[in-house]
Structure 1
Amino acid sequence: MTWIKTILYDDAEGPLKTVYDRIKGPDNHIDNILLAHSLRPHTLEGHMALYKNVLHHPRNKLPKWLLESVGVYVSLINCCDYCVSHHYEGLRTLLRDDERAKKMRQALESGMPAHAYTTKEAAALDYAAILTREPGKITEQTIDIIRQAGLEDGEILEVNQVTSYFCYANRTVLGLGINKEKSMLGLSPSTGEADDWSHG
């Protein structure tokens, strides 16, 4: 599952067991990316707080499927198959339209979001790509262009935070050799409640 030691749900105790009980899915399943934090449960709490607040918070204005698209795109750019697989499945589930999801993935894989997304959505994805590949090249003019495409400043912040989260998650996965062994793809917190971290 990873290149470092992990502690499974049945072997967990103390603070780790407490956090696992908050995030577990069906049959006490814990995603591999979350298991990777098991030697330092406080980092798991930090990961989950960031994940929940940037991707699954009820006060986000952009649709969750678009934020998942940002995650898939960033993960494709970073060559993180684990996150692509998990979040493409989440995107597909949210859309409830397999053909549309497939077209979106093809557009992201080709680096041409405009082939499957609106002008506003493609601008968000283009910003995510630049922020992932060359963050030092972002300028105030970059933000002005995104605004002209229809994104409000709060929405730009949402894209920025989701992009930043996925760069973090991708590096966690790639740097620790986290794989999809025994994974349940596409699970995410089941409610919009800020303190609900359960994956179902």
Structure 2
Amino acid sequence: MAWIRTISFVASSGKLRQLYERITGQGNNVDNIMMLHSLRPNTMEGHMALYKFVLHHTGNTLPKWFLEAIGTYVSYLNKCDYCFEHHFVGLMRDLKNDERAHAIREAITTEQVDMAPLSMREIAALKYARKLTITPARMIENDVKQLRAAGFDDGQILEINQVTAYFSYANRTVLGLGCNLEGDIIGLSPSNSEDPDDWSHQ
């Protein structure tokens, strides 16, 4: 599952067991990305809080499916198959249109995002995410101005920025520790956006 030792749900105790119980899915399943943190529950708690607040919080105004699309795209750019597959399933679930979701996936994996069935506004956000992921030091104020011109308000620009930044963190956590999909139930996520303390995966 990973290149470092991890502690399973069954073998866990104390603070780790408490955190596992907050994030488990079916049959006490814990996503492998979270199990990576099992030797340091404090980093798991930080990771999970960031993930929940950035991607699954009622304070966001952009549709969750689109935040998932940004995460899927960033994961593709970082060549993180684990996060790409997990969050593509999330994209499909939230978009509720499998044909369109697969067309978005095709546009991403063939590096033709301009051809994705998305609005020009949404494509502008993906282009911002690409530049921030691939060449972060080249970001300039005009990149934000272009998002504003495309119709995003500054709070939404912050959402786009934070989802992009979070996925680069998550991708590097996975890639740097050799996390894979073995034993995972793909696509589970916190479904209750209204309660920031509800981390349970559905």
Fold match by TM threshold 0.5: yes
CA distance in 2, matches of 1:66, 1:157: 14
| 1:39 matched to 2:42 | no
| 1:49 matched to 2:35 | no
In 1, are the aligned partners of 2:129 and 2:164 still within 8 Å (CA)? yes
Aligned-residue CA RMSD (Å): 0.7
Could you tell me which residue of structure 1 aligns to residue 125 of structure 2? 124
Could you tell me which residue of structure 2 aligns to residue 80 of structure 1? 80
Could you tell me which residue of structure 2 aligns to residue 6 of structure 1? 6
| 1:39-80 C-alpha deviation (Å, 9 max, x unpaired) | 000000000000000000111010000000000000000000
Could you tell me which residue of structure 1 aligns to residue 201 of structure 2? 199
| 1:62 matched to 2:62 | yes
Could you tell me which residue of structure 1 aligns to residue 142 of structure 2? 141
Unaligned runs of 5+ in 2: none
Unaligned runs of 5+ in 1: none
- Detail structure 1 runs of 4+ shifted over 2 Å in the superposition: 110-114
Report the alpha carbon displacement of residue 132 of structure 1 after superposing the two structures with TM. Answer: 0.2
**% identical equivalent positions:** 54
Report the alpha carbon displacement of residue 147 of structure 1 after superposing the two structures with TM. Answer: 1.0
Could you tell me which residue of structure 1 aligns to residue 187 of structure 2? 186
CA distance in 1, matches of 2:184, 2:165: 24
Could you tell me which residue of structure 2 aligns to residue 92 of structure 1? 92
| 1:159-181 C-alpha deviation (Å, 9 max, x unpaired) | 10000000000000000000000
Which stretch of the first structure deviates more once superposed, 144-153 or 123-132? Answer: 144-153
CA distance in 2, matches of 1:103, 1:63: 18
Report the alpha carbon displacement of residue 139 of structure 1 after superposing the two structures with TM. Answer: 0.5
| 1:158 matched to 2:156 | no
Number of aligned residues: 200
User: When the two structures are superposed, what TM-score results if normalisation uses the length of structure 2?
Assistant: 0.97
